[in-house]
A and B are shown apart, each in its own frame.
Chain A
């Protein structure tokens, strides 16, 4: 039931040839804008450094500078995205990456498309079209992303294994559905992040079906979760 219902969050499903679903978390407007701002600052600094360095070289330096300016303006994003696993320095900083819609790493053609079309996202001023498109698309795509078939997602980092409270395991009082089973385990795994009153409040919801007093419910759920997990 939980697995099939339309999720409330913005996760994006990709079915792989192995028959499993990869769940991707598309990044919204604010982190993407911040990443862009960081990249912009880096490019600005690089150009400033170039200006002083090549200024000393005279005309030859100017020509070289023009080529480098072109490279930095149009190719900075593409080169980083393709050669650095979909991450420009700004995206790396914010834990984002660019991938194809089907979950594969972004390639030359797609990266070039999305970055050339950035010009249109910039129109008519200050990224207005890009922002509108990003806010109205379910996976937060700007126009360039729609045309190139790419997606900006969060890179998930490994999490610490949460410790379940040490209690006596207990078999569930009645057969549990898969969703119920995961909900109980989820409660037990997440309790470090919740305050004691909130834990009691959540557990009290289940007091009646578990046939215990509301104060006992939390302990009972932990014992059932421990039983579900099995002997360690």
Chain B
């Protein structure tokens, strides 16, 4: 068949298909119009194959190809039911994922909590060590913040209700930014995640040790224990996600490095999503509960211990023994 006959015969169908694509791309399609879409798309693909095979002119082939590309964009999607996925993720997907990636989570946790506790004990025993990590001005700022004489606790001593909002925003921006950096720098063969895990662990540990040794232990610990459950776990999770990327690059197994990285990125980014959720919760607790002074330290310790148990219990037990993962 000659090209012009071919065009003549199918021109109307192509125009119709293009109009349908227009409505779909503008998001204004209704159910009835879409019922014919699959058939029309497959027919167009057949026409494209024919036009290529018969050596028709470039203009026609490219025109059909554009239509096929637009049709393909409308027809095929990666599955994404955001709401249902989010709920499934919260109810057990995250904890299953953490258990599935337990090697990296364990490594990141050991690095982070290990350096935190180690540095804390060291600074408690040898107080001068804190200045090897943190400048004197910052240390004295921290000391002022947790001075038992202060009415309110946290990074900005005296505050009113508007301040709680400000702090909420500040915590979100600061902490999630740190988590994202910890994750993303894992792409440098895991070195970046290693650095951020150790650095954060050492700094937090040094401050904790220093404040406890000064006798500011009660305001400090009662402040951090509540949101620490979520915040510290989240940093460990983000670090684990970064290490996952790094290990895919260092030890790709039987896959090419690019492919191994692509496969590793999927669980890693889900871990980071989990860490982000944890940090949102932590920011909320930090702004609205940890900074309050009406609750006695004993109550705060109890609530904090409860939150730690909740997080650990969730990560260890949620999503077990149910139906197969969706």
Residues of A within 8 A of B (CB): 3, 16-20, 22-24, 58-60, 62-67, 69-70, 73-74, 85, 99-100, 102-105, 107-110, 112-113, 116-120, 123, 143, 146-149, 156, 158-159, 161-162, 176, 178-179, 181-182, 185-186, 188-189, 228-232
Contact = CB atoms under 8 A, between A and B. Distances in A.
B17 to A, nearest CB: 13
B258 interface: yes
B172 interface: yes
Nearest to B180: A116
A182 B176 contact: no
Interface residues of B, number: 67
B183 A116 contact: yes
Contacts of A102: 76
B265 A113 contact: yes
11 contacts: A16-B72, A22-B68, A73-B177, A74-B177, A104-B76, A159-B59, A159-B63, A178-B54, A182-B55, A182-B57, A230-B4
A186 B173 CA distance: 56
Given A117-B184, A117-B187, A109 B266 contact: yes
A173 B7 CA distance: 25
Contact of A59 (B41, B46, B162): B162
B269 interface: yes
Contacts of B2: 228-231
A43 to B, nearest CB: 15
Contact of A178 (B55, B62, B66, B270): B55
A232 B11 CA distance: 13
By CB atoms of chain B within 10 A, which of A20, A102, A228 has the most?
A: A20
Contacts of A63: 162, 164-170
A64 B163 CA distance: 11
A66 B169 contact: yes
B100 interface: no
Q: Is the contact region of chain B dominated by helix, strand, or loop, or is it mixed?
A: helix
B261 A119 contact: no
Interface string B38-49: 000110011011
A104 B72 contact: yes
B269 A109 contact: yes
Given A59-B165, A181-B55, A229-B3, A107 B78 contact: yes
A123 B191 CA distance: 13
A85 B25 contact: yes
Contacts of A162: 59
A86 to B, nearest CB: 9
Contact of A70 (B42, B46, B166, B176): B176
B180 A59 contact: no
A105 B73 contact: yes
Give the top 3 A-B pairs by smallest Cβ distance, nearest first.
A230-B2, A66-B169, A59-B162
A100 B76 CA distance: 11
